[in-house]
């Protein structure tokens, strides 16, 4: 046996045994780092991306997205569609009128918004909505009979005349386009006269103010009427106002109604600012209602009388005098000019006087105290009838 050969082997064995702990330490350290990395919380976006990649197989086209939505329940699918920018669904929040100016400080305001220069400044500061202008299809006018054709032309002419008689031609075409867009909108009547006179029988307001504020009592100027009639006839024959597209609302630039921020602003033509519904409701494809072809008969003599409840001049004077007596109105000097400040009327309604307010407060006080008003018998009851006291039941206690 050659011991000389064993010496190198023994030396090599010693080196291997000596190196084994070091190698094991390196291995254990690497495993520790890996375990530490795997135990670190990963962002949700990483896990979501991996889940989407597994479900779609890397395909982000229609087939891949269909594979993702196939695993969603009805609630998840509704949430996904609500946030899909491609669908452009409207956000229906059930907003309270005047929501953009509501405040927790002071008394709530019941006015109709800013007017005059202040309204023009607000309207100018509100930019046109990106992509709000959508093309409108030509109106398909197929009246059922000659009477319906004449009624439709007259109603549309009235809308153009009383709403935009002195506007440029493009402004008049925009008003006519709004009326015809509403005819095809599922939210409105399917006839021209039905749209124009919608709400005209109410005392709380109408869609087009001339149908309920007494404007129809004023005879039209012939040359302006003929001009409005030509615009209306062109619109019924298929002319489209390209500047307003699918607009369904408009207002004058010297007012700032509460509803304007809830719609998509398209543009301003002349003195009118035009809007459309936000989301899919304002797209071209949403105007699917077919024209009915039959126009209702309009009693213009009836609608020529104002039905809007407004304060009269006598009411305003009475309110001003009453306010001066109670100290609600006062004379002040502003920038060298003498002015009367205070509130004499609100929202077009006559305010109650001091005596009326006192009577109302007395009745409220009697109701809250539980006092039952005495019943005065002005005549003896008929024979066989026994008078009985009225018992109040069901009144909340506390």
Domain ranges of the chain: 9-34+48-82, 111-303, 310-348
Cβ(176)–Cβ(188) below 8 Å: no
326/316 Cα distance (integer angstroms): 15
List pLDDT tens digits, range 223-245: 999 999 999 999 999 999 999 99
75/310 Cα distance (integer angstroms): 48
206 vs 325: which has the higher pLDDT: 206
Q: What is the pLDDT of residue 296?
A: 93
CB contact set of 236 (below 8 Å; sequence gap of 6+):
139, 141, 152, 153, 156, 180, 192
CB atoms within 10 A of CB 83: 8
Q: What pTM was computed for the model?
A: 0.54
Q: Where residue 288 falls among pLDDT bands split at 50, 70, 90?
A: very high
- Which percentage of the chain shows pLDDT scores above 90? 35
155/200 Cα distance (integer angstroms): 13
Structure tokens at 290: 């077919």
Q: Where residue 330 falls among pLDDT bands split at 50, 70, 90?
A: low
CATH superfamily of domain region 111-303: Cell wall hydrolase SleB, domain 1 (1.10.10.2520)
Structure tokens at 1: 């046996």
What three-state secondary structure class fits 189? Answer: coil
Q: Where residue 369 falls among pLDDT bands split at 50, 70, 90?
A: confident
Of 243, 226, 260, 251, nearest to 177 (Cα)? 243
């Amino acid at each position: 046996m050659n011991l000389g050969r064993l010496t190198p082997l023994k030396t090599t064995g010693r080196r291997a045994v000596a190196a084994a702990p070091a190698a094991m330490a390196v291995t254990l350290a690497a495993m520790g780092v890996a375990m530490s990395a795997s135990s670190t919380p990963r962002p949700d976006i990483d896990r979501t991306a991996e889940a989407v990649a597994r479900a779609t197989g890397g395909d982000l086209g229609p087939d891949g997205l269909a594979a993702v939505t196939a695993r969603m329940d009805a609630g998840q699918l509704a949430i996904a569609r609500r946030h899909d920018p491609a669908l452009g669904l409207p956000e229906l929040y059930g907003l309270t009128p005047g929501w953009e100016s509501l405040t927790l400080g002071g008394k709530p305001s019941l006015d109709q918004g800013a007017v005059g220069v202040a309204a023009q400044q607000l309207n100018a500061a509100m930019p046109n909505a990106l992509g709000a202008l959508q093309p409108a299809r030509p109106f398909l006018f197929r009246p059922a009979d000659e009477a319906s054709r004449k009624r439709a032309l007259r109603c549309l002419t009235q809308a153009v005349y009383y709403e935009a008689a002195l506007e440029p031609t493009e402004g008049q075409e925009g008003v006519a386009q709004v009326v015809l867009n509403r005819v095809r909108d599922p939210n409105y009547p399917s006839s021209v006269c039905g749209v124009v006179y919608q709400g005209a029988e109410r005392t709380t307001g109408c869609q087009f103010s001339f149908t309920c504020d007494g404007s129809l009592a004023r005879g039209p100027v012939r040359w302006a009427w003929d001009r409005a009639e030509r615009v209306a006839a062109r619109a019924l024959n298929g002319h489209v106002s390209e500047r307003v597209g699918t607009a369904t609302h408009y207002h004058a630039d010297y007012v700032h109604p509460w509803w304007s921020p809830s719609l998509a602003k398209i543009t301003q033509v002349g003195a009118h600012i035009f809007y459309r519904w936000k989301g899919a409701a304002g797209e071209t494809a949403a105007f699917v209602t077919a024209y009915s072809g039959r126009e209702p008969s309009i009693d213009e003599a009836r609608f020529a009388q104002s039905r809007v409840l407004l304060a009269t001049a006598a009411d305003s004077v009475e309110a001003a005098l009453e306010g001066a007596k109670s100290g609600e109105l006062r004379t002040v000097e502003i920038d060298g000019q003498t002015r009367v400040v205070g509130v004499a009327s609100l929202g077009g309604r006559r305010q109650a006087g001091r005596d009326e307010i006192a009577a109302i407060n007395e009745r409220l006080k009697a109701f809250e105290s539980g006092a039952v008003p005495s019943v005065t018998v002005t005549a003896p009851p008929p024979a066989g009838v026994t008078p009985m006291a009225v018992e109040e039941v069901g009144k909340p206690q506390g």
